[in-house]
Amino acid sequence: MNSAQRIKLAARAGITGPLIFGIALISLTILKYNFLLSLGWHPLRAPTFDWPSGLALGEYGWIMTATFILSGLMMILFASGLYLSLFPIRLARIGTLLLAFAGLALMGLAFITDPTLTTTVRSWHGLLHDSSFVLLGLTFPPAMILLGFAFRHDRYWNNLSYYTWTTVALALPTFWLKGAAFYIFLLAVLIWCEVVAFRLSKHKKSYYLTSM
C-alpha cells in the first residue's frame, strides 16, 4: 500500500470513527436512559456523572466497550495518515504522535469503569479507565494545538490552523468542567475530526509544499 492509499484509508477512518462514536453515544443514552438515572446521572443537572463511561455498564454495555476500542483504533489510523499528508516538520510529527496516543487512551476507556455510587473497593479496571480518561485529556488538546501550528506550514492545510486553535480554546475548558458544557467539548472535537478527515480525503501530493 503506497502513501496515497494509506492517506485515503486514514481519511475514511477519520470520517467514520467520530460518526460511529456519536451514533453509539446517542443511541445508548436513549436506550439506557433509566439505567443511567439509577447511576445518578441526569442530562442537565449531572450530565457527566458516570457518562459516557457508564454506558459500558449493564445491558448492551458491550456496545460502548466495542465503540471505545474501534474509535480509538480509527483515531490512531487517522493520525498516521495525517502525518503522511503534512509537511515533514517536528510539530507535525509530535502533533500526530500525540493524536495517536489520544487514540490509545480512547481505547483504554474500554476498561470498565466503576459506578461512582458504590461502596465496594475500586477495581483495577476502573483505575485503568480513569487513568485513560486523564491521558486523553493530556494528549488530545495538545495534539490539536501543535497540529494547528503544523497546518500553518502547509499550503493545503493552512486555513485550518485558526479553526483548530479556536476549537481548542472553546472546547478545552469544557473537558474539565463537570457540567452540561462537556457536551460542547464532545461536539466540538467530533466536528473538528470530521472537518480534518474530510480535508485529508481530498489530499494530493501536489499540495505537499510549504507556504512559508
Q: pLDDT by residue (tens digit) across 69-125?
A: 999 999 999 999 999 999 889 999 999 999 999 999 999 999 999 998 876 788 999
CA dist 84 and 147 (Å) reads 13
Q: How far is CA 63 from CA 45, 57, 109, in A?
A: 26, 10, 13
How many Cβ atoms from other residues are within 10 Å of residue 190's Cβ?
A: 16
Whether residue 208 has pLDDT greater than 60: no
Q: How far is CA 96 from CA 135, 174, 195, in A?
A: 15, 23, 16
Reported confidence tier of residue 176, pLDDT bands at 50, 70, 90: low
Whether residue 48 has pLDDT greater than 90: no
Q: For position 4, what pLDDT does the model report?
A: 87
* pTM greater than the 0.95 cutoff: no
Reported confidence tier of residue 212, pLDDT bands at 50, 70, 90: very low
Whether residue 170 has pLDDT greater than 90: no
Bridge partner residues of 42 (DSSP): 46
CA dist 42 and 31 (Å) reads 14
Q: Minimal CA–CA distance to 139: which of 176, 186, 103?
A: 103
